[in-house]
Structures are given as C-alpha cells and as structure tokens.
Structure 1
Amino acid sequence: MNFHFYKYHALGNDYIVIDPHKAGVDLTAANIRLICHRHFGIGSDGILAGPFFEGSAIRLQILNPDGSEAEKSGNGVRIFSRYLVDAGYITTREFSLETRGGRVHVELLDDRGGQIRIDMGTVTFQSESIPVTGPARAVVNEELVIEGRPLAVTCVSIGNPHCVVLAEPSPATAAKLGPLIETHSLFPNRINVQFLQVLDRNNIRIEIWERGAGYTLASGSSSCAAASAAYKLGLVDNEINVHMPGELLKSISGPADTFL
C-alpha cells in the first residue's frame, strides 16, 4: 500500500489526514484498521478523509481505527481545519465543515490556524437522540450497574453519543470499564465514555474511552460532553477548563451551543 498522507495531533489525539485529491487509497474497513495500527501501520486514533466539495459545502469523513465512521470529533475538526489552511484550501477566518453528525462552524483565531475555535453544536440529554434504550427521557444522573458496581452516568449527544461517568478518573479505570460501557446493551450504537472528576467550579479532569478507538489521551467532543454533563448537574460554572492526559482544553457550555 503506497499513498500520500499527513499526520497531525491535537493534545496527543493523533489523526492521519488522507486527501482524496492527492492520495489514491481505498479506505475499506480492513485498510483503515491496518493504516491506524500502531505496530503494523502508520498508527493513529483515526483517519480524517477529505475535503469533499459538495457545492459550497466542505465535507469531512471521520473514520475510527476499527473501520467504523464517527459522527463528529472536536479534535478531528480542529486538525482538519489546520490542514485546510496548510494545503491552501481555506483563506478565510471563518468557515463550516459538514460531518456525519452535522455542521460545525470553525473560526481561526490567527492567520496560520494555530488557535482554532469551533462550535460543536447543541447539546441534548434526550435518550432518543443519543440513543439510549428504554422510555423517552433525559438521561441525567442515572444508575448503570457494571460488573456489580453501580455508576452514576449522564448521557449526552453533541452529534455523537457520550456517557459521562462520575468516578475517579484513571487510565486503569478507563481501560477496564470503558469497553464494558461502550458496548452495553443500553447503547445500541455503542458510545464514547468519559470518567469525570470535578476539581472546582471551573476545572474538571477526565479520562476517555472512545468508541471504535479505545483509550485516548484527549478528545474535543469528550471535553464538551463532560463539561456539559457537569454543568447540567450543577457542579460547575459555564466556562470550564478540561484537564486530560494530553493537556488542557477550554470548553464553554450552557443552555445553547457548546464551544471549544
């Protein structure tokens, strides 16, 4: 397999960018798994395929290491936006990207795309939008039992599904409980998982288990989900620093959209 690619990371969350205008590679599930494999391939937390131009729209395809397609990725959008600047596709400070999980508005805070602000969209806690099985409801501070252990969970969708668990965050906890929650029958489309600790009214710490990717050092959409859940539970104010193993990310949450 021989093709042209670019590799970027955001807070240690690394993605391979494959531009269809420059690379001729068939992104089958098997090829995606091989490319993302950290021993036999290039190695990454996923692939960003694009840009695909549809009229005035720019579409991005976000592919998980297991070959599945993700609806949305905050860090993926930030990385891809920087690639669009580097490759000369974008010359304006503001633009939008179309993802499987909906449109994302992007604002470049400097000329080179070193700092990028994105509108991740409207947050919902409604079970039918996430989705979560059972009666229609807001999934807020519910009990989920995993291996006999009761966990307090709040489920969120920001175009992709998240389960935020109030628990002491650690890599070991994420690695043990993450895959069990991701594949739980409560979540028919599987789910991203965040283990959340509130440090104070403006700071939270999380560990992340990503659907289709596994343990991850950082995630933009996970940051938004965790911040939104903590805000919904009344544990934090609306401007929040999210501490992850990969670094610090700021999220602004409220009753409307969530920003990174």
Structure 2
Amino acid sequence: MTPLLIHKYHGLGNDYLVCHRSVAEQLSNEQIRILCHRHYGVGSDGLLIDSGDLNNPTLRIINPDGSEAEKSGNGLRIYARYLFDIGRVGHQPFLVRTAGGEVHCTVHNDFHQISVEMGRANFNPTALPALVNLPEALNYPLALADETLSVALVSMGNPHCVVLVDKLDLAQVHRLGPQIENHPWFPRRTNVQFVEVVDRHTLKIGIWERGAGFTMASGSSSCAAASAMRRLGRVDDRIDVNMPGGQLQITIRDDFHVCMRGPVHKIASLTVDKDCFVATVKVSI
C-alpha cells in the first residue's frame, strides 16, 4: 500500500493539497472531504491530483465538497511548482492537461513566481454552461431572491459569473455568493466574482468559489473578472487583480487569450495517518 504522502502549498492564501494518483486512488470522496476539512483533516481549498506520467503532466482538481473542477488558476500554479520541486520540470515552459483544456506553465528563475497561459476567455453562455439563450451575456440581469444584479458570464475552461459593483463588500460576497453559485441558470453551478474597478489597470475582487465557498484568492476568477471588465471596456490589457490574499498580474491579448502570473509557496510535506478518516461526525464543508 502506498503511504498517504501529500504536499501542501498556497497561492495568495488559496491553499491546496497535492498528491500522486497512487495516493488519491486510496481515498474515497468522503475521505477527501475529511482531508480538506479545517478541523478534522489537514485543511485546504481542494486536492490536486498528479494524474499523468513523467512526460505528460495531467492535473485533476477535487473541491473540498468532493466535486471535481475543470480548471483552477491557483491550482495550476501550485501544480507547476510541485512538478518543479520534485524535478519533473525546469524553467522552460511546459504543457499541463486539465479537464478544462491544455495550458502552458512557466516556473520563473525566482521559483516562487509562476506564469500560466490560461487559454481564451469564452463569453458564450453555453460554454459555462448557463441557461441563457444569447451569444454573450454582458450587463445581463440576474434575479435573486431579493434583488437583481447585473452580471457578465465567462468561461475560462470553468464557469464564472462576474458581478460589477461600485464598492467591494466582502459581506455581500458571503451573502449572495451561495445564491449565485446554485442559481438555476447554472446546471453545474458556477464560480462567482464581485468586482470593483479601481482604475484601468487595477481591480479589487471578492470570490465565492464553486464547491469551496469564500476563498482568499483564485487564479481563474482573476482571469475571468479581468476578461469581463476588458470586454466591457472598463480596463486595459494589463491588469493587477487584488484579492484578500494578495495580487495577481493578468495580461489579455486582443483575441482574449489570458496569461496569469503570481506567487506560490510551499507549506509542508507530510504523511496522513489513516486515523484521520475514523470520523465520529458527518463532515460538511
């Protein structure tokens, strides 16, 4: 039996556990939920599974609630740093496969800094998917229980609903994020970003992540928010996205191909004791 060796990293406070597929194959969804729990497990915003072979890095992303995500910007940066740390890659760009598409990653000479070519932002609601019968949904009304918001829908290989606000209020993110995540428009749920435009090169965002809840930072959310504001003409092609956990740099080409750059830090490598999974209470995230 393979020891349950895992590694913990964070990107701007958005923390993930990383393990090889030989470890993940020993874990049930319920055990992953316990492992990600802040009190009963190691604690994280999800589990990254190294699923490829030596020559074909492939990433699976499991949310803390046991569901699977197509793509994660912070997850990809962390996975790239993990591959660098174990000697699988160097400083040259390399390809990573995800359920949300292929991306190119680069570990810079300062190995804390990772760039990811995230692919093209797609503004067609069917790409999320979202049940909106339009070629694009920008400044589109989304009715909630007690109010209606103006939103923009965008896919970065995973779904995003971007809400433009005059002033970012994290209490509003906590209050409305769950309603938007589970709105009937989104049959597979959605990630949510509340966005304040500071100037043409700066955004402030608050994030409610599908399957994880409020998060300190998110790479794909930063890319989605910046792309939506670029599409609406509110920002230029180089944007600093500020979150509670810190800042990412986003560059958007004319064809809406998006590149993200930001930091990753390693926290620990450890072996999980199986006593962790002898839970006496039902774990909820």
What is the CA–CA distance in structure 2 between the aligned matches of 1:164 and 1:24, rounded to whole Å? Answer: 33
Q: Name the counterpart of 1:210.
A: 209
Per-residue deviation, residues 11-44 of structure 1 (Å, max 9, x unmatched)? 00000011235x3652321111111000101100
Matching residue's letter, 1:9: H
- On the 8 A contact 1:239/1:252 being kept in 2, the answer is yes
Q: Secondary structure at the match of 2:221?
A: helix
**Structure possessing the higher relative contact order (Cα contacts under 8 Å, 6 or more residues apart):** 2
In the TM superposition, what is the alpha-carbon distance from 1:141 to its structure 2 partner?
Answer: 0.9
Q: Secondary structure at the match of 1:227?
A: helix
Q: Is it true that 1:131 corresponds to 2:129 in the alignment?
A: yes
Q: Name the counterpart of 1:244.
A: 243
- Superposition CA RMSD, Å: 1.7
How many corresponding residue pairs? Answer: 257
Q: Name the counterpart of 1:183.
A: 182
Matching residue's letter, 1:169: L
What is the CA–CA distance in structure 2 between the aligned matches of 1:141 and 1:164, rounded to whole Å? Answer: 9
Q: Name the counterpart of 1:119.
A: 117
With the length of structure 1 as denominator, give the TM-score of the two structures: 0.94
Give runs of aligned pairs for residues 141-220 of structure 1, distance below 5 A: 141-167=139-165, 168-220=167-219
What is the CA–CA distance in structure 2 between the aligned matches of 1:24 and 1:183, rounded to whole Å? Answer: 28
Q: Name the counterpart of 2:21.
A: 20
Q: In terms of mean alpha carbon deviation, does 71-80 or 139-148 score higher?
A: 139-148
In the TM superposition, what is the alpha-carbon distance from 1:135 to its structure 2 partner?
Answer: 1.5
Q: Name the counterpart of 2:34.
A: 34
Gaps of at least 5 residues in structure 2 are 261-285
Q: Name the counterpart of 1:43.
A: 43
Q: Secondary structure at the match of 1:14?
A: strand
What is the CA–CA distance in structure 2 between the aligned matches of 1:79 and 1:102, rounded to whole Å? Answer: 17
What is the CA–CA distance in structure 1 between the aligned matches of 2:154 and 2:139, rounded to whole Å? Answer: 11
Q: Name the counterpart of 2:228.
A: 229
What is the CA–CA distance in structure 1 between the aligned matches of 2:218 and 2:38, rounded to whole Å? Answer: 19
- On the 8 A contact 2:63/2:69 being kept in 1, the answer is yes
Percent identity between the two aligned chains = 46
What is the CA–CA distance in structure 2 between the aligned matches of 1:79 and 1:9, rounded to whole Å? Answer: 7
What is the CA–CA distance in structure 1 between the aligned matches of 2:188 and 2:244, rounded to whole Å? Answer: 26
Per-residue deviation, residues 30-78 of structure 1 (Å, max 9, x unmatched)? 1111110001011000000114228x42111111000011000011000
Q: Secondary structure at the match of 1:57?
A: coil
With the length of structure 2 as denominator, give the TM-score of the two structures: 0.86
What is the CA–CA distance in structure 2 between the aligned matches of 1:103 and 1:188, rounded to whole Å? Answer: 24
Q: Secondary structure at the match of 1:58?
A: coil
Runs of 4+ in 1 over 6 A off after TM superposition: none
- On the 8 A contact 2:91/2:108 being kept in 1, the answer is no
- On the 8 A contact 1:81/1:113 being kept in 2, the answer is no
Gaps of at least 5 residues in structure 1 are none
Over 3 Å counting, the alpha-carbon distance change for 1:187 and 1:137 in structure 2 is same
Q: Name the counterpart of 2:10.
A: 9
Per-residue deviation, residues 86-144 of structure 1 (Å, max 9, x unmatched)? 1111135210100010101012221x622111100011110111111031420111011
Q: Name the counterpart of 1:109.
A: 108
- On the 8 A contact 1:37/1:65 being kept in 2, the answer is yes
Matching residue's letter, 1:147: A
Matching residue's letter, 1:219: S
- On the 8 A contact 2:80/2:106 being kept in 1, the answer is no
Q: In terms of mean alpha carbon deviation, does 132-141 or 10-19 score higher?
A: 132-141
Q: Name the counterpart of 1:256.
A: 256
